[in-house]
């Protein structure tokens, strides 16, 4: 007969007791929080508004934001159930989208989630957002109540630092974009002639350090632009304008001031430069690409849907 020592029995029981106590503690402790899902940045794609014409009859059109590869393939829904989304632009790090929806600016993450309004206090006339090259500011146009004009503003992505850049004692300013180095902006001013029918326009650049305005082209040369896009190399600005009463892309050489017709706009939306400056994206209904010199024009998305307000997403950083 074997006799078990009480000491041995106690030692053998101890681990079991400890395990029981540990399990009880674990059962009563809160669950660790789930880590937030990793959202892939929006790189090397295009982003645009889209709707099916069949959805507009009889109900209001069902509009949404989509992304695709630059050749129009790999269509992906980003945000649905919108009123009229315009100017969807992606932050330089690919993480955040800002867009206009019926006069208000909203932000979503790269997965189309966490929608919230960016600008408050300026009413419902905020449009044409553009990220600064360093991602610290968002340029946009909004209603300046005291002057009753549209002017150019900027704001930080977190909604702070609202700053009116243009002089509100001058005519309305709109169609703004950043220079590639972020030190200047370009925009259009229009003077309204209440006597007759002449509404002269000027394209203006502003040095942000001094707030100095410089006219780069005006109506005396036939300028009638409304939306601008500054090329990544800083040499060229394209505008949405007209040619023989048709919407057109007009090109301004920054150094010489030479301004003239570049291509049919294939719609009433501005042309947007690719991140490397080699290609322009444009069109309404169908989306088109063309080379930086205006050649090799080709449709990339012609699927019977209305595709418009198309922009490039940033290029992925080099490894």
Q: What is the pLDDT of residue 239?
A: 98
Q: What is the pLDDT of residue 7?
A: 32
Q: Which domains does the chain have, with CATH numbers?
A: 46-312 (2.120.10.30)
**DSSP conformation class of 227:** E
Q: What confidence tier does 3 reach under pLDDT thresholds 50, 70, 90? A: very low
Smallest CA-to-CA distance from 223 within 175, 182, 178 is with: 175
89-98, 187-196, 228-237, 301-310: range with lowest mean pLDDT: 187-196
**pTM of this structure:** 0.86
Helix (H, G, I), strand (E, B) or coil at 263: strand
State the Cα–Cα distance between residues 103 and 118, nearest whole angstrom.
Answer: 12
CB under 8 Å, gap of 24 or more: what pairs does 113-118 form? 113/39, 115/79, 118/155, 118/157, 118/159
Instruction: Give the tens place of pLDDT for each residue, 126-152.
Output: 999 999 999 999 999 999 999 999 999
Instruction: Give the tens place of pLDDT for each residue, 190-209.
Output: 986 555 556 789 999 999 99
Q: What is the chain's mean pLDDT, rounded?
A: 89
Query: Who contacts 3 (Cβ-Cβ below 8 Å, separation ≥6)?
Result: none
For 27, the enclosing helix (H) or strand (E) is helix 6-28
- pLDDT of 314 over the 60 cut: yes
Burial 58-88 (b: 16+ CB within 10 A, else e): eeebebbbbbbebebeeeeebbeebeebbbb
């Amino acid at each position: 007969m074997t006799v078990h020592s009480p000491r041995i029995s106690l030692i053998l029981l101890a681990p079991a007791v400890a395990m029981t106590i540990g399990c009880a503690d674990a059962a009563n402790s809160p669950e660790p929080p789930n880590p937030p899902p990793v959202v892939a940045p929006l790189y090397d794609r295009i982003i645009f508004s889209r709707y099916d014409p069949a959805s507009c009859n009889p109900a209001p059109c069902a509009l949404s934001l989509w992304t695709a590869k630059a050749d129009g393939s790999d269509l992906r829904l980003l945000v649905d159930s919108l009123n009229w989304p315009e100017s969807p632009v992606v932050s330089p790090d690919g993480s955040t989208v800002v867009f206009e929806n019926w006069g208000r600016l909203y932000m979503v993450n790269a997965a189309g989630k966490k929608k919230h309004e960016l600008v408050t206090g300026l009413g419902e006339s905020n449009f044409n957002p553009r990220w600064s090259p360093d991602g610290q500011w968002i340029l946009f146009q909004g209603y300046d109540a005291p002057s009753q004009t549209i002017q150019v503003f900027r704001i930080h992505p977190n909604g702070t630092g609202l700053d009116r850049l243009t002089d509100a004692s001058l005519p309305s300013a709109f169609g703004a974009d950043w220079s590639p180095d972020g030190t200047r902006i370009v925009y259009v001013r229009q003077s309204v002639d209440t006597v007759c029918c002449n509404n002269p326009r000027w394209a203006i650049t502003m040095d942000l350090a001094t707030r100095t305005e410089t006219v780069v082209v005006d109506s005396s040369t036939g300028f009638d632009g409304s939306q601008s896009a500054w090329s990544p190399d800083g040499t060229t600005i394209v505008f949405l304008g007209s040619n023989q009463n048709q919407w057109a892309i007009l090109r301004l050489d920054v150094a010489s001031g030479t301004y003239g017709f570049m291509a049919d706009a294939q719609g009433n939306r501005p042309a947007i430069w690719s991140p490397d400056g080699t290609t322009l994206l444009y069109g309404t209904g169908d989306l088109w690409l063309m080379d930086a010199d205006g050649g090799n024009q080709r449709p990339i998305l012609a699927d019977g849907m209305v595709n418009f307000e198309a922009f490039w997403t940033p290029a992925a950083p080099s490894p």
